[in-house]
Structure 1
Amino acid sequence: MTESGLDHPADDLICSAKGCRADAVWALRWNNPKIHDPERRKIWLACDEHRESLSAFLGRRDFLRDVVPVTEVTGGS
């Protein structure tokens, strides 16, 4: 894990959707309450095109906690 809390270096932030190589714009913060402590947050990255579908996938499982601009989790501007 990097200093940003992501498994990607800050200059390699790409969408987590399968096969997508677009730059990430959104950070989808989630956890699985059955296995993670309530305060723990895992992060999937999303481009504008995949934000909705990735959010829906996590939401159907009650895993999605919030969606923020990727700069909020990387400290970038």
Structure 2
Amino acid sequence: MSLFNPVPDAVDELICSSRGCRSDAMWGLLWNNPKLHTPQRRKVWLACDEHREHLSQFLGTRGFLQDVVPAAELDPVPPS
């Protein structure tokens, strides 16, 4: 991993991260809090179509949102 090729955290279930929502996630919102995370780290919030904009605005307002990608492009958590 390098600064020029950040890798998102692996995801478990593709379920929307919005509170109370259990819809299938269609989007991965890649974010980073520079006060807590190294520059190459990309945390992932998942979003359904309905909550994508709201969650993106929440992260974007704080300067955390780095990218939005289709959830199908995210790596799954390896089986244990």
Q: Deviations over 1:26-62 (max 9, x none)?
A: 0000010111111100000000000000000000100
The equivalent of 2:39 in structure 1 is 38
Of residues 5, 11, 21 in structure 1, which corresponds to 2:10? 5
User: Percent identity over the alignment?
Assistant: 63
Q: Deviations over 1:1-41 (max 9, x none)?
A: xxx712x2xxx310000000100000000010111111100
Q: Secondary structure at the match of 2:18?
A: coil
Q: Indicate the RMSD between aligned Cα atoms, in angstroms.
A: 1.4
Q: Secondary structure at the match of 1:21?
A: coil
Q: Structure 1 residue 74: deviation in Å?
A: 3.2
Note the residue ranges of structure 2 that are not aligned, 5 or more in a row: 1-8
Structure 1 runs (4+) deviating above 2 angstroms are none
Q: Secondary structure at the match of 1:13?
A: coil
The equivalent of 1:62 in structure 2 is 63
Structure 2 Cα separation of the partners of residues 29 and 37 of structure 1: 14
Q: Secondary structure at the match of 2:46?
A: strand
State the TM-score, normalized to the length of structure 1: 0.83
State the TM-score, normalized to the length of structure 2: 0.80
